[in-house]
Amino acid sequence: MSLYRKGSNIMRVLVLAPHTDDGELGCGGTIVRFIEEGNEVHYVAFSTASESVPPGLPKNILEVEIIEATGILGIKEENLHIYKHTVRKLNYVRQDILEEMIDIRKNLKPDLVLLPSINDIHQDHNTIAQEAIRAFKQTSMYAYELPWNTITFSTQCFIRLEERHLEKKVKALSAYKSQSEKAYCSREFIVGLATTRGVQIGVHYAESFEVIRQII
């Protein structure tokens, strides 16, 4: 990637996830590649979705699982930031979320922000996308793909992945044992989508993004 901080060869990347696992699903392979290349990656989850935890499991299970999953990707634990807003109600506290994002922007000064698509129909995902565009309007921004939630998605940017990047993404998502019944967490789906995006650019695997803003 050529998005480098002035005077440095290190890029600071911020991943915004409405819920635990969204970042891994949307850009897990890219996270692995960026870290492998020496970049600094921070991950922010705005809800642990404790209200949606399957019966019989601890309410904090997703908080435990995200620590394991992001660790597999290579994100340092001190670079994982977790908020506990109520799932499916992020739009009720959008001003609070905007202010949290502004604080994050001031503290981290990211070079690149990865966020959900503005065309994502999930109310929490859409709220994070809208507020991120406000909070980081002077920063390069790419929107990651969660195809089960989007009516349209423009594949404007592709990031090539090697098999080792994809395998770490699959392993990270396997840490979410509480979500294992969901089809989009399956190895078949993850590899299939990466293969589809790879075919589009003539490589084995890739992840695709919508370009919201590119600053060079």
Residue 71's pLDDT is what? 98
Q: How far apart are CA 103 and CA 167, in angstroms?
A: 34
Q: How far apart are CA 158 and CA 147, in angstroms?
A: 15
Residue with tokens 């699903």: 25
Spatial CA neighbour of 185 closest among 60, 19, 14, 51:
19
Q: How far apart are CA 177 and CA 175, in angstroms?
A: 6
Overall pTM > 0.85: yes
What are the helix (H) ranges across 37-162? 61-73, 94-108, 123-135
Beta strands in 117-195 (DSSP E): 140-144, 157-161
* Cα–Cα distance list, 83 to 50, 116, 153, 198 (Å): 12, 17, 27, 34
Give the bridge partners for 211, in sequence order. Answer: 142
Residue 8's pLDDT is what? 60
Query: pLDDT 10s digit of each residue in the chain, 216 long?
Result: 445 454 467 899 999 999 999 999 999 999 999 999 999 999 999 999 999 899 999 999 999 999 999 999 999 999 999 999 999 999 999 999 999 999 999 999 999 999 999 999 999 999 999 999 999 999 999 999 999 999 999 999 999 999 999 999 999 999 999 999 999 999 999 999 999 999 999 999 999 999 999 999
Angle (CA) 113 72 9, round 5°: 45
Q: Terminus-to-terminus CA distance in the chain, angstroms?
A: 11
Residue 5's pLDDT is what? 53
Q: Cα-flanking dihedrals φ and ψ of residue 154, to 5°?
A: -95, 115
Q: Which domains does the chain have, with CATH numbers?
A: 12-211 (3.40.50.10320)
**Torsion of the alpha carbons at 189, 32, 146 and 121, rounded to the nearest 10:** 160
